[in-house]
Amino acid sequence: IAGITQAPTSQILAAGRRMTLRCTQDMRHNAMYWYRQDLGLGLRLIHYSNTAGTTGKGEVPDGYSVSRANTDDFPLTLASAVPSQTSVYFCASSDSERGSYNEQFFGPGTRLTVL
């Protein structure tokens, strides 16, 4: 693994189904993030984790949950998918101890369609 990986690459999901998007990084970064990107809108933060064992809510957390059991993995779960959750989902990480700024590195994204 080099950097951040996400799985699946794309998924079509029936409304009401449960879905977990996977994210793994091998850079030993403390902080990890989940964003959604929709046409005409900026990246919107769903949830974040500043360090293993802790998580926080972003701008649009409703309908999503996360866990951070270890440094490398940060899965995002949709408990009961709805069509408005159709989007491209990006996972990102940053080294919060690096210095005065936190450049974020992004995974390749998961394109999710909820029907």
Partner 1 sequence: GQNIDQPTEMTATEGAIVQINCTYQTSGFNGLFWYQQHAGEAPTFLSYNVLDGLEEKGRFSSFLSRSKGYSYLLLKELQMKDSASYLCAAMDSNYQLIWGAGTKLIIKP
| Interface residue list for partner 1 (CB under 8 A) | 40-45, 48, 58, 90, 96, 100-109
Q: Which is nearer to partner 1, 80 or 103 (CB)?
A: 103
We find the least distance from the C-beta atom of residue 73 to partner 1, in angstroms, to be: 18
Q: Which is nearer to partner 1, 28 or 100 (CB)?
A: 100
We find the least distance from the C-beta atom of residue 10 to partner 1, in angstroms, to be: 11
We find the least distance from the C-beta atom of residue 43 to partner 1, in angstroms, to be: 4
Contacts of residue 40, defined as CB under 8 A and 6 or more positions apart, other chains included, come to none
Q: Which is nearer to partner 1, 26 or 79 (CB)?
A: 26
We find the least distance from the C-beta atom of residue 47 to partner 1, in angstroms, to be: 11
From CA 32, how far away is CA 49, in angstroms rounded?
5
From CA 12, how far away is CA 62, in angstroms rounded?
20
Q: Which is nearer to partner 1, 14 or 41 (CB)?
A: 41
